[in-house]
Amino acid sequence: MVESNWSNILQIKNLKKYFGGVKAVDSCDFEVEKGKITALIGPNGAGKSTVFNLVLGLINPDSGKVVFNGKNITGLKPEDISNLGISRLFQQTRLFNNLTVKENLLLAMDNKDVKFWKNLLGGNKVGKDKEKRIEQMLGLVGMEKFKNKISRDLSYGQKRLVELIRAVLKPHIFLMLDEPVAGVNPKLRKSIKGLLLKLKYQGETILLIEHDINFAFSVSDEVIVMHQGKILAKGTPTQIKNNPKVLEAYLGEQFSAGSS
């Protein structure tokens, strides 16, 4: 069934997910507008990754609804949701360490193609256009010389960049990124920021899940703040910067035990 409001690619409606006594996501409502970077921010344990997993169908909500591109996707299988056009970057890296950068990227471009493995194993030539696209994307972040490197030899930040490129190369209409710059050095952070801004200018729609407030403010058009499973505030970066409740939520983090 088609649900309205076409300017929004994603609508979260009264979404709820408890883990035992932990209210990870508690009656959340928000929208992601097409062609914008929306940042979902909040202190550790706020529920950001749980929202990510709920949207992707990796876990099912206790109640509420996820509408993607006008379609109710609540309860669909992760693969079916992904095939509707969502590409994502997980909080933990998921590269194939024993493959080269190029091979990892090719996997994203045609992971349904059975011939792919034959080509890879047989060393056949891959399509020139695919190779060009890979070179172009690596070039955008200054990583063209890493094309034939084995992924395990990359630094953590370089792996994140390759994963990000992989998410972009996978055919999609919506990108969801869970903490792309966490643990990444300042130089590569800049590359990631530059890439995100370029993607936005190309008209991409991105939901950026981010702990780092300053990074989120520097790239996003809209900010949604989560705290203890609830939506604490929504607005532009400037509005959110000046919201004392947001600072308070982050300050509280320093005193909470076990946050990483």
Residue ranges that bind Mg ion, judged by CB under 5 A: 48-49
- Among Mg ion, ligand ADP, none, the one that 45 touches (CB under a kind-dependent 5 to 8 A) is ligand ADP
Task: State the nearest-atom distance from the C-beta of 50 to Mg ion, in Å.
Answer: 8
Cβ of residue 153: shortest distance to ligand ADP, in angstroms?
29
Rounded CA-CA distance 243/220 in Å is: 16
Q: Minimum Å distance from CB 169 to Mg ion? A: 24
Instruction: Assess 47 for contact with ligand ADP (CB under 6 A).
Output: yes
User: Could you say whether residue 56 binds ligand ADP (CB under 6 A)?
Assistant: no
Residue 241 tokens read as 């910067």
Q: Binding ligand ADP by CB under 6 A: which of 8, 36, 48, 73?
A: 48
Query: Using the rule CB under 6 A, is 24 a contact of ligand ADP?
Result: yes
The listed partner (ligand ADP, Mg ion, none) that binds 46, CB under 5 to 8 Å by sort, is: ligand ADP
Q: Does residue 61 belong to the site contacting ligand ADP (CB under 6 A)?
A: no
Distance from C-alpha of 73 to C-alpha of 39, rounded to nearest angstrom: 21
| Closest distance to Mg ion from the beta carbon of 216 (Å) | 13
